Amino acid sequence: MTDVLVIGGGIAGISAAARLAPHASVTVLEGETSLAYHASGRSAAAFIEDYGNSAVRALNKASAVYLHESGVLKPRGMMLVGRADEKEAHAAEAKDFGLTQISPDEARRRIPILSREAVAFAAYRPDMFDLDTDLLLQSFARTARQAGAEIVTGVKVTEIARADGLWQVTSGAQSWTAHVLINAAGAWADEVAQMAGVQPLGLQPYRRSMARLPAPGGHDVTGWPFVDGVGEAWYAKPDAGKWLVSPSEEHACAPMDAWPDDMVLAEGLARYEAMVSEPVTRVETSWAGLRTFAPDRALVIGRDAGVPEFFWLAGQGGYGFQTCVAASQLAADLVLGRAPELAADVVAAVDPGRFS
């Protein structure tokens, strides 16, 4: 018997377990043999406060102090580049992200491979950060375990039943009983809900791919900023001396162990190549992850409107790590019956009852 059973060992489930474990008995079930195997383990690993809709940005802002103080953030900077025919779109996007317009020459001083012919507009802000996702995840996992939480990996949930006011969750020959069930199953969150007899919310996983390239032109990319094309046509960022490029695609798919589509990757790399002076000569490795969104693109955090003992912690989209501090705190407050620290309008914006 446990007070709270969390299904999902990504950053959402593990951070919630860390918040709850000092106050309740907590068990986390993860279907894979390691934590954060799917979406959390394939994150772009970046933090920018002005990313996502208003509800997401509120969670980003509420998470910022903790992330800075925990040592998981390292300054990176963000640049947005655009072609001559993208003037209005570039200006609008730069304003939305809080970027300051800079000259193409200044942009090339920061990223020397930007094309003189193609890059007509650029904007920049210094306060975007690399986020050490593994350090943050392991810190939350350690906190959870030290407070008594049990984290079980390699257990795929096969059945969820409810009787006598308790949840009975089964994986093969193993079973667990709990008062509250937290659905932090990422791309599988709607499937978990259906298994539990709870109305799904219409959560949709989308695939996004990434390619790791050698440092272009033999440059030292260590100090280069994250760079984005207008309309998220592509983005690139340094990674341990290499250069990551993503097509930024958003292809709806079923929950799965995602893999990159070669054609989508090639098309995205072509869009990137059109804006730089160094061709892509080799892809060292590539992968894909799933970003799962609710219909309105805000996270879903709260008790189910029809089954209050079923708690949603889902729909993180591409914002899981940068919102997890505030999202997990809100989840713990609501599960434990405490007044949330977040403003009431933010709590309402992420409440699953908004879909009822």
CA gap 118, 104 in Å, rounded: 10
The pLDDT of 14-27, averaged and rounded, is 98
- How long, in residues, is the chain? 356
Paired strand residues for 207: 251, 290
User: Is the pLDDT score of 39 beyond 80?
Assistant: no
Q: Quote the Cα angle for 14-15-19, to 5°.
A: 115
Average the pLDDT over 172-182 and give the result: 97
The per-residue pLDDT for range 70-89, each reduced to its tens digit, is 999 999 999 999 999 999 99
Question: Which pTM value belongs to this model?
Answer: 0.96
Q: How far apart are CA 30 and CA 38, in angstroms?
A: 11
Please calculate the CA angle 124-222-45 and round it to the nearest 5 degrees: 70
Closest among 180, 179, 204, 178 to 191, alpha carbons compared: 204
The reply to whether 2-50+132-200+295-355 and 78-125+204-293 are identical in fold is no
* pLDDT > 90 in the chain, percent: 97
pLDDT at 40 over 70: no
Domain boundaries, the chain: 2-50+132-200+295-355, 78-125+204-293
Q: Characterize 328-345 residue by residue with b for buried, 16 or more Cβ atoms within 10 angstroms of its Cβ, and e for exposed.
A: bbbbbbbbeeeebebeee
Beta-carbon contacts of 97 under 8 Å, excluding residues fewer than 6 positions away, are: 48, 50, 51, 78, 80, 123, 125
Provide the residue type at 66 as one letter.
Answer: Y
Specify the fold of 2-50+132-200+295-355.
FAD/NAD(P)-binding domain (3.50.50)
Q: Is the pLDDT of residue 41 over 70?
A: no
The token pair at 117 is 């012919």
Q: Is the pLDDT of residue 17 over 70?
A: yes
- The pLDDT score that the predictor gives to residue 42 is 76
pLDDT of residue 167: 98
pLDDT at 240: 92
pLDDT of residue 299: 98
- Scanning the chain, the segments in alpha helix (DSSP H) are 11-20, 54-69, 87-96, 104-110, 133-146, 189-195, 262-273, 320-335, 344-350
Q: How far apart are CA 57 and CA 45, in angstroms?
A: 16
pLDDT at 110 over 80: yes
> Looking at residue 44, what is its pLDDT?
80
Instruction: Count CB atoms within 10 A of the CB of residue 140.
Output: 23
Architecture of domain 78-125+204-293: 2-Layer Sandwich (3.30)
